[in-house]
Amino acid sequence: MSQSLMKAGSLEVDRKVEAALDFGRAWDYAPAPEATDHVKIEPRYGLFIGGRWVSPRSGKYFPTISPSTEQVLAEVAEANAQDVDDAVKAAREAYEKYWSKLRPADRAKYIFRIARAIQEKSRELAIVESMDGGKPIKESRDVDIPLAAAHFFYHAGWADKLDYAFQGRKVRPLGVAGQIIPWNFPLLMAAWKIAPALACGNTVVLKPAETTPLTALMLAKIIEEAELPPGVVNIVTGAGETGAAVANHPDVNKVAFTGSTEVGKRIQRALAGTTKRLTLELGGKAANIVFADAPLDQAVEGIVNGIYFNQGHVCCAGSRLLVEESVHDIVVRKLRDRMQTLRLGDPLDKNTDVGAINSKMQLEKIRELVAAGEAEGAERFSAPVKIPEKGFWFPPTFFTGASQSCRIAREEIFGPVLTVMTFRTPEEAIEKANNTMYGLSAGIWTDKGAKIFHLATKLKAGVIWGNTYNKFDPSSPFGGYKESGFGREGGRQGLAAYLEVE
């Protein structure tokens, strides 16, 4: 019998030895990169307007790079106000001529077709999503792309049942929807926006984020192949100015925006006094609340998933951990050990847990806030990961010893940075969780179901998860309170954003 077995069997315990787990390289995984040879990215993309690929009137193109290698993947057209005007005109014409005249069941057929095509091309879409955005392939493969398809399937099902969505009330489409989406879930956000708009009978002008336009352009190809009537979906690429042109266009009936609170406020100001309908899905600083009676090992998984999923580029990320003081030390210890196993690196490697930060700009913002956390005296722990030489990276990090007044506890970092704070009673947890200008989401971890329901009624957050985190489903409405925005996406409630309910 070996020495360690003898020792294990004995009741003698050497208490001087600090019991630390060692997540080293005794047995390490070989690189497992997803093959990219079958993926076709064109060198240059035009704008998708009126069912055709057109060159931008601006004559300008901008590069989109891979944040993990800094290599240029393609050049993308920059749409100016004239291009946006073309797109809105095409959408208006499509609305008047085709889409509003189509039988709802036939609308559904087109949307089902898009959903199936996304599934058929899921592998290619996942790879391009990871290349263009930096997220781990396991997430784009298992979350982004399947959910995008699910949103089209779900809303296709609604298209001919809208009369039953709001009891006793008549509904009709709004017209042309101008939609501006962020870079954190590029294809999924496009699906969240386009699927309900089409199902409700609207036509669309969508502007993807400038750092991640590729999968939206691939979706345009899918829509082209699905033979939707020309102009029903138009995709215009560009940066902030293009987005502003979409939101400000006088012939747009509805604006849907997902992104930062700052830009959201600007859009709302611009729309004041118009008849345009608006939904905003903005920032968050969600509390993930862990009670002492929680299943702690699973809660630690929920904490990790809550903040390190998609490098923390998630508006509903559980970026504030509120942990009951009596279990603070053990939770932090477990979290620290768990973070040793996070694998940061090549987004295309199937074993990568944490990919690249989406852009240099975002990386700088994360660095600035982390520096602020250190300056304010919070204690920092970062996972011991090796940062690749090229690309934009930030190690999974958390702060302890922070207070509610710290910048890292108030401002949305939108990166893999968690702020850990404690509470003593459920009332204190509720007060601290609500003590933010945001109100998008929250997590509650406890073995007591009654406690979950009690807290859920008190937390001012649009989405509340009990003993889980970052779970999404097209049938479940998503949206915020306070400065996290208004309007819901998904579910029956999400339809209201694209319908006139009379």
Partner 1 sequence: MPSLAIVERGRVSLAYVTHENQSANGNGAIFRAGTPQRGGRITLFEPPPVDAVAVEERAAALGKRSIKKSAKVAGLKLAVAMMDLTTLEGKDTPGKVRQMCQKALRPLEGDDTIGPCAAVCVYPNLVPVAKAALAGSSVKVASVATAFPSGQSPLSVKLEDTRRAVELGADEIDMVIDRGAMLAGDYAKVFDEIAATKEACGQAHLKVILETGELGSYDVVRKASELAIAAGADFIKTSTGKIQPAATPAVTLVMLEAIRDHYYATGRRIGMKPAGGVRTAKQCLQYLVLVKETLGDAWLTPDLFRFGASALLNDVLMQLEKERTGSYQASDDFSKD
Q: Which is nearer to partner 1, 330 or 437 (CB)?
A: 330
Q: Find the shortest distance in angstroms from Cβ 9 to partner 1.
A: 5
- The residue among 144, 131, 256, 241 whose CA lies nearest residue 198 is 256
Residues 85-114 that bind partner 1 (CB under 8 A): none
Q: Rule CB under 8 A: is residue 293 a binding residue for partner 1?
A: yes
Residues 25-84 that bind partner 1 (CB under 8 A): 25-30, 32
Q: Which is nearer to partner 1, 17 or 450 (CB)?
A: 17
Which of 106, 364, 374, 447 binds partner 1 (CB under 8 A)? It is 447
End-to-end CA distance of the chain: 80
Q: Find the shortest distance in angstroms from Cβ 468 to partner 1.
A: 6
| Residue 96 CB-density burial (10 A; 0-12 exposed, 13-18 middle, 19+ buried) | middle
Q: Rule CB under 8 A: is residue 296 a binding residue for partner 1?
A: yes
Which residues fall within 8 angstroms of residue 311, CB to CB, at 6 or more apart?
134, 135, 354, 355, 356, 357, 358, 394, 415, 416
Q: Which of 93, 210, 281, 411 is catalytic?
A: 281
Q: Rule CB under 8 A: is residue 302 a binding residue for partner 1?
A: yes
Which of 71, 298, 403, 404 binds partner 1 (CB under 8 A)? It is 298
List the structure tokens of 66. 């891979």
Q: Which is nearer to partner 1, 240 or 449 (CB)?
A: 449
Which of 97, 116, 333, 380 binds partner 1 (CB under 8 A)? It is 333
Q: Rule CB under 8 A: is residue 321 a binding residue for partner 1?
A: no
Q: Rule CB under 8 A: is residue 5 a binding residue for partner 1?
A: yes
Helix (H, G, I), strand (E, B) or coil at 235: strand
Binding to partner 1 by CB under 8 A, coded x per residue (else -) over 390-429, reads ----------------------------------------
Contacts for 399-408 with beta carbons within 8 Å, 24 or more apart?
399/373, 400/332, 401/377, 402/373, 402/376, 402/378, 404/432, 404/435, 406/372, 406/373, 406/376, 406/378, 407/369, 407/372, 407/373, 407/376, 408/369, 408/370, 408/372, 408/373, 408/376, 408/378
Q: Which is nearer to partner 1, 142 or 364 (CB)?
A: 142
Q: Which is nearer to partner 1, 33 or 377 (CB)?
A: 33
Q: Which is nearer to partner 1, 329 or 379 (CB)?
A: 329
Q: Find the shortest distance in angstroms from Cβ 2 to partner 1.
A: 5
Which of 248, 260, 467, 493 binds partner 1 (CB under 8 A)? It is 467
Owner of token pair 């497992």: 32
What one-letter code names the amino acid at 283?
G
Helix (H, G, I), strand (E, B) or coil at 76: strand
Q: Rule CB under 8 A: is residue 456 a binding residue for partner 1?
A: no
Q: How far is CA 107 from CA 126, 229, 313, in A?
A: 27, 10, 34
Q: Which is nearer to partner 1, 272 or 450 (CB)?
A: 450
Helix (H, G, I), strand (E, B) or coil at 116: helix
- The residue among 12, 7, 87, 73 whose CA lies nearest residue 40 is 73
Helix (H, G, I), strand (E, B) or coil at 175: coil
Residues 276/253, Cβ–Cβ less than 8 Å = yes
Q: Rule CB under 8 A: is residue 273 a binding residue for partner 1?
A: no
Q: Which of 34, 200, 315, 489 is catalytic?
A: 315
Q: Find the shortest distance in angstroms from Cβ 23 to partner 1.
A: 5
Residues 341-360 that bind partner 1 (CB under 8 A): 341, 350-351
Residues 118-157 that bind partner 1 (CB under 8 A): 138, 142
Q: How far is CA 190 from CA 43, 218, 358, in A?
A: 22, 11, 17
Q: Rule CB under 8 A: is residue 450 a binding residue for partner 1?
A: no
Owner of token pair 């040793």: 340
Q: Rule CB under 8 A: is residue 453 a binding residue for partner 1?
A: no
List the structure tokens of 273. 């006094």
Q: Find the shortest distance in angstroms from Cβ 414 to partner 1.
A: 24
Q: Which is nearer to partner 1, 1 or 272 (CB)?
A: 1
**Known active-site residue 200:** no
What one-letter code names the amino acid at 360?
K
Which residues fall within 8 angstroms of residue 386, CB to CB, at 6 or more apart?
344, 345
Instruction: Please state the φ and ψ torsions of residue 162, each to the nearest 5 degrees.
Output: -65, -25
- Residues forming the site for partner 1 (CB under 8 A): 1-2, 4-5, 7-9, 11, 13-15, 17-19, 21-30, 32, 138, 142, 292-298, 301-302, 326-330, 333, 337, 340-341, 350-351, 447, 467-468
Active-site annotation, residues:
281, 315
